[in-house]
Homo-oligomer: A and B are copies of this chain.
Amino acid sequence: MEYTDAYFMEQALREAQKAFDADEVPVGAVLVMQNKIIARAYNQVELLHDPTAHAEVLAITSACNFLGAKYLPDASLYVTVEPCLMCCGALHWSKIGKIVYGAPDSKNGFKKYTTQSPFHIKTTIVSGVLEEECAALMKSFFKNKR
């Protein structure tokens, strides 16, 4: 059985919920190859005191470790929120096959800064999968902070 984008985004949302529960900005990601999740990650900036520890970067590093490869052309990344400039650069270098994200991020998303696609030419981008659920978790987090 071939899982849908929504199925894998649900899994990314579970990761985002873990971030939420740990008082981290609630972004989660899963990395998929051949219909299987090979890496899961959520934002750990606070836990690791590391501004680079975004879900996408951790998932890429984890997947590359697992595969022993620095490129991920046959993999798909599912992430709950539009990647920031750093993550989008990391995804560029990984030559990832497909990126699926949930909610847009008008404040920190890559679209704010870039004019041309910053991804590898062969990378497919899909947006808006489970957008409402992904956005709701972010809104709930920042509402609690105010």
CA distance A119 to B41 in the complex (A): 26
Task: Report if A90 contacts B (CB, 8 A).
Answer: yes
Cβ-neighbour of A114 out of B86, B95, B113 (below 8 A): B113
Cβ-neighbour of A90 out of B51, B65, B69, B118 (below 8 A): B51
Task: Report if A137 contacts B (CB, 8 A).
Answer: no
Task: Report if A37 contacts B (CB, 8 A).
Answer: no
Would A51 and B93 count as touching, CB distance under 8 A? yes
Chain B residue with Cβ nearest A53: B61
CA distance A126 to B54 in the complex (A): 27
Copies of this protein chain in the complex: 2
CA distance A89 to B57 in the complex (A): 12
Would A61 and B57 count as touching, CB distance under 8 A? no
Would B60 and A51 count as touching, CB distance under 8 A? yes
Cβ-neighbour of A89 out of B67, B68, B85 (below 8 A): B85
| Set of chain B residues within 8 Å of A33, measured between Cβ atoms | none
Task: Report if A23 contacts B (CB, 8 A).
Answer: no
| Set of chain B residues within 8 Å of A67, measured between Cβ atoms | 49
CB distance from A52 to the nearest CB of B (A): 5
CA distance A93 to B90 in the complex (A): 14
Task: Report if A50 contacts B (CB, 8 A).
Answer: yes
CB distance from A89 to the nearest CB of B (A): 3
Known: A70-B45, A113-B115, A113-B116. A64 touches B50 (CB 8 A): yes
Task: Report if A92 contacts B (CB, 8 A).
Answer: yes
